[in-house]
Structure 1
């Protein structure tokens, strides 16, 4: 199997938990190096990995073909631009960039360089969302009239990652958790016609937004996206209603928790939720009312990197395209405009 030599631009939580295990597991991807400015933490997990002390040193290595830009959001544009100019493919963490203009510039540069970009939207491969998507696409609910997605937490204290807490481009919950919910909504339902947003600060210690509610307007339905840090008892994270029925599902994917505990992906039971978290389907089929628990599909972030590998080797479309990334940033920009003006924004 042809191998793609791959490097990470960071080995914090993102690199250690979400990227390195799956790159290391994939037979076609070689986890070759990581940019660590002063530490060598990656050697504890991957002995023999090459440590680069500067971005310039990493990009000068002509053997590296794919670079994972998993640094703070406000650096994504600068670093991804350098990666593309160095003639390498890029996987960029969410949020893709801090503006639509930056995102489009990277799209154009990638085309000029004949290189590929993908935005790392791993939550498409969460067990809960995969199950919701299956129920909707198989038509169990009929035509959808309303959907509500939540990403709620209870967290009074600030994040130790100060780039998320200091006011500036890329900071705040809209840029942190927002891209997950927005991408899932767009992946399932497409781009809306208009939107309204309410973005707030709810914790006295916070200087950046820690709550948002986005209302996406489609011709025959509405989609509400919510996230907040003062939700001690969360509602179900996926609520979908249609002409035939409803589906309700908790956010219960186990992959992040398992990865944080350094559990290795790849086993037959990887990404398997507890049976207690099965979603509730209440609908009608062939004139019969059905109200039952639905088996949850397995989550699998490995599928993302499997698709990235084939996209590069076979020159096909990335699993999450650069246009997907642009669309998410477009929604974020419109949300900020809507909340500031207190009005509906046409898209």
Structure 2
């Protein structure tokens, strides 16, 4: 069993990770660094500690998950590795490519594992998108458009998220997910074009972006804004034979915040009304209809992480993919300046 120490008990630590550690038999959530009281009815054996140094000094801990503010990721990750701990790190891994490269080099030298929490690879909608593309029902893919829009005109109550700082802003926050999904599907792009905006009143950071990834014949468009009241499709994929369109956002976060856990019935399954639609031509026959959405399951990330640590298995989330993600983000940020 892998003993886990968790740094941070906000949205990511408390809702998006801790329930998966608690319900996965490969892990034992031993300690959480937080000023909050840990709900003992949910985590009866988990202890609260005051500092992350306590986790570093605990020789029984094999894995530390870093869910602290983004600008602490590099410092904390490096110290965890130097203390001999494997790490799971909330995205973005770091603000800068050279920092991410240093962490992966250090982990390799120490025979330790780094996994970045790219949980959105295991969203219901994205897993369905991947399945539709791989089925060939759309033919050769020529355009892929993905949105991650929200309507949040009021500045975040967590003030650290709203200040100009390394790894802050929507490009690092939501952009890291959309870019990661594109790299997972299509690999490294030939060219990158991007622009970030500030749209909310009083905002000091970027809160919207448009990105184009050039793959030759295939054009990938990624868009996000915090000022979209009436949201359009999440995904629109066009191929030489047809189109797949999907509205709505994966429901796992809503389930977790509402108290539905990964080991409970119905977790990760969205209402049937949210199924995407396909229009295509197969052997001269025009076909249109609904595509059943797969159940979302971030648990796949945790299963793979346990296998990587215990059995040195192949990681689903590969270092070269994460490095390319940060490379793309840096290119867009540099173009902005």
TM (norm. structure 1) is: 0.95
Q: Which runs of 4+ in 1 moved over 3 A?
A: 41-45
Contact 1:76–1:97, Cα closer than 8 Å, also in 2: yes
Does 1:327 find its partner at 2:317?
A: no
Mapping for residues 272-311 of structure 1, pairs under 5 Å: 272-311=269-308
Q: CA deviation at 1:76?
A: 0.6
Determine which of 73, 78, 83 is the counterpart of 1:76: 73
Contact 2:162–2:168, Cα closer than 8 Å, also in 1: yes
Q: Secondary structure at the match of 2:232?
A: coil
C-alpha deviations, 1:291-317, integer Å up to 9, x for none?
101111111111110111111111122
Q: Secondary structure at the match of 1:305?
A: helix
Evaluate the alpha carbon distance shift between residue 292 and residue 224 of structure 1 in structure 2; reply closer, same or farther with a 3 A threshold: same
Does 1:104 find its partner at 2:108?
A: no
Contact 1:35–1:55, Cα closer than 8 Å, also in 2: yes
Give 5+ residue unaligned stretches, structure 2.
Answer: none
Determine which of 194, 206, 211 is the counterpart of 1:209: 206
Q: CA deviation at 1:42?
A: 4.9
Determine which of 168, 173, 183 is the counterpart of 2:170: 173
Q: CA deviation at 1:268?
A: 4.4
C-alpha deviations, 1:219-246, integer Å up to 9, x for none?
1111010000110011101010011110
Q: Secondary structure at the match of 1:256?
A: helix
User: C-alpha distance in 2, partners of 1:339/1:240?
Assistant: 28
For 1:5, the equivalent position in structure 2 comes to: 3
Contact 2:260–2:267, Cα closer than 8 Å, also in 1: no
Q: CA deviation at 1:191?
A: 1.1
Number of equivalenced pairs: 337
Contact 1:153–1:228, Cα closer than 8 Å, also in 2: yes
Does 1:262 find its partner at 2:259?
A: yes
Determine which of 38, 44, 51 is the counterpart of 2:48: 51
Q: CA deviation at 1:286?
A: 1.8
Q: CA deviation at 1:267?
A: 3.2
Instruction: Compute the RMSD of aligned alpha carbons.
Output: 1.2
Determine which of 222, 227, 244 is the counterpart of 2:224: 227
User: C-alpha distance in 2, partners of 1:324/1:311?
Assistant: 17
C-alpha deviations, 1:31-78, integer Å up to 9, x for none?
111112x33235463133122211211110000001101111111100
Q: CA deviation at 1:323?
A: 2.3
For 1:142, the equivalent position in structure 2 comes to: 139
Contact 1:164–1:170, Cα closer than 8 Å, also in 2: no
Q: CA deviation at 1:192?
A: 0.5
User: C-alpha distance in 1, partners of 2:160/2:193?
Assistant: 27
Does 1:252 find its partner at 2:252?
A: no
Contact 1:167–1:207, Cα closer than 8 Å, also in 2: yes
Does 1:30 find its partner at 2:23?
A: no
TM (norm. structure 2) is: 0.97
User: C-alpha distance in 2, partners of 1:28/1:199?
Assistant: 41
